[in-house]
Amino acid sequence: MREFIVEADGGSRGNPGPAGYGTVVIDAATGETLVERAEFIGVATNNVAEYRGLLAGLRAVRELDPSATVRVRMDSKLVVEQMSGRWKIKHPDMKPLAGEAARLLPPAQVTYEWIPRERNKHADRLANEAMDAGRRGEQWDPEASRAALDTAAAARAAVTVPEPSGPPGDAAAGAAKAREALARGRTSSSSTEVESTEADATEADATESEMTGADSTGADPTKADSTEAEMTEAEITEVEMTKAEMAGSTGGGSTPAAAVGSAGGVTPARAAGSASGPADAADTDPTAVPKAAADVRAARTVAGPSGKPSVGWGSAPDLGAPATFVLLRHGETPLTPQKRFSGRGGTDPSLSDVGREQAERVAAALARRGTIQHILASPLARTRQTAGAVAARLGLEVTIEEGLIETDFGAWEGLTFGEVQERHPEDLTRWLGDPEAEPTGGGESFAATAARVAATRDKLVAAYAGRTVLLVTHVTPIKTFVRLALGAPPESLFRMELSAASLSAVAYYADGNASVRLFNDTSHLRP
């Protein structure tokens, strides 16, 4: 079922006085503006003009798809409360307008939300254009309208994104000092030199938005030993450095032979012993279990641009600004709290009320950071709707990217982990232990998912070098991005927790190296 957003407004210059309305119909999944309407209505009150804007929006929706669900967003508290049934309608001029609005579409399909005026600028500009036309003795001309352009320009001004001019953080003098300190640290093994490096790193004042475009977890990297280079790496993680200098993570430009996606937050041992724990690749991601005994190693050797491995903090030229992917998992669907597998081959559920609220919260958080320059989304409904909420807030367009789609879980779609374990125990055991194994019924193996994600990654890194891009996708692709960036073994993905509407971030540099900046941040969802 399609979902539309109607943003409507009206105004009167005199109240009553010369009045007009504006209304916009937006595709909730993509954020695309589908309809703009405005009209000068003569002498009327503000409230009558607002109702007329609402009516125009609902009529436009009925013409597009009378079966669609609609979210009406207006900055008129009176109209929202009256149409929601919480306030009585007493004014004789508004009773027939409200009655007509209630009859245009079945009430069960329409919900009303009050928004502040600054979030209703598109409709407001249309209403003012209509009133300006009326003052000239004309009617509003859609061909001459600049409302959409002015609104987009205002949105861009509100979230100014500087063009990349070098490694993020270079604008801060402290970053340069930190690099100098690292160079000194490579030529001296004294404890005083390490202390100096730490002080210089602390002095660096690169902001959160310069570093990642998302929140920093503040977690220290795993230390394989206590060498000076690794101590310095841990102390410098707060500073934006080029990946050529940060050789502590493995290259993201190549796909390991055993590349797999994510089976989830349950270890194979837990899967065999419990019917209650869902796989993380399902629509939910339960609290991660304690990791099993495993060989956790910090990879210290990467291949430099010459093809020869560079070890530790080996010197390399400045590689420029990375392509930074901010990875957003979609908001909740009705299947999420039920902990059911929900991939590309299921019912393609839409966001629930909780999921829509999560999408609005993450959109507000990303607008505050002001670093997103492009938005790409998986073609499934829940990701398109989440991306649409962010796009509407940032004034950006959404590009659909097929490579970001979730894994196909075959016959397991819609089932809980326990139900799969009961019905297909042997298939599930193979799937948890072998990345080449497919779910029952010929779904997509994790190895196939990883190959798809790696190809998508390489294409996007080339297309968005030096840019910060929001990828709105699913559990399996996000965990696969992170696992490949870390060069971690397949079993590491059983130990990742990824919540609905969470943010992660990975930066990719020109030499093929990758830097994981953030994982599973949900701070924006807290009240």
The Cα 463–Cα 486 span in angstroms is: 22
In what helix (H) or strand (E) does residue 201 lie, and over which residues does it extend? helix 191-203
The Cα 302–Cα 298 span in angstroms is: 12
pLDDT of residue 29: 80
User: For the ranges 170-184, 192-206, 504-518, which has the lowest average pLDDT?
Assistant: 192-206
Residue 71 pairs in a beta bridge with 5, 111
Q: Mean pLDDT in the chain?
A: 74
pLDDT digits (tens, 9 = 90+) for 208-253: 333 233 333 333 333 333 322 233 333 323 333 333 333 333 333 3
Contacts with 526 (C-beta within 8 Å, 6 or more apart), sequence order: none
The Cα 497–Cα 66 span in angstroms is: 40
Q: Is the pLDDT assigned to residue 511 strictly greater than 70? A: yes
pTM of the model: 0.48
pLDDT above 70 covers a percentage of the chain that reads: 68
pLDDT digits (tens, 9 = 90+) for 359-408: 999 999 999 988 899 999 999 999 999 999 999 999 999 999 999 999 99
pLDDT of residue 292: 30
Residue 504 to residues 327, 382, 516, 518, 521: CA-CA distances in angstroms? 5, 18, 8, 5, 6
pLDDT of residue 512: 82
Measured from the Cβ of residue 68, the count of other Cβ atoms closer than 10 Å reads 18
For residue 256, which amino acid is it?
P
Mean pLDDT of 289-309: 34
- In whole angstroms, how large is the CA radius of gyration of the chain? 26
DSSP 3-state percent helix, strand, coil across the chain (nearest 5): 40, 15, 45
pLDDT digits (tens, 9 = 90+) for 256-298: 333 333 333 333 333 333 333 333 444 544 333 333 323 323 3
User: For the ranges 39-48, 178-187, 454-463, which has the lowest average pLDDT?
Assistant: 178-187
Mean pLDDT of 497-501: 94
pLDDT of residue 495: 85
Number of helical H runs and strand E runs in the chain: 16, 13
Q: Is pLDDT larger for residue 30 or for residue 196? A: 30
Which residues are known catalytic residues? 330, 406
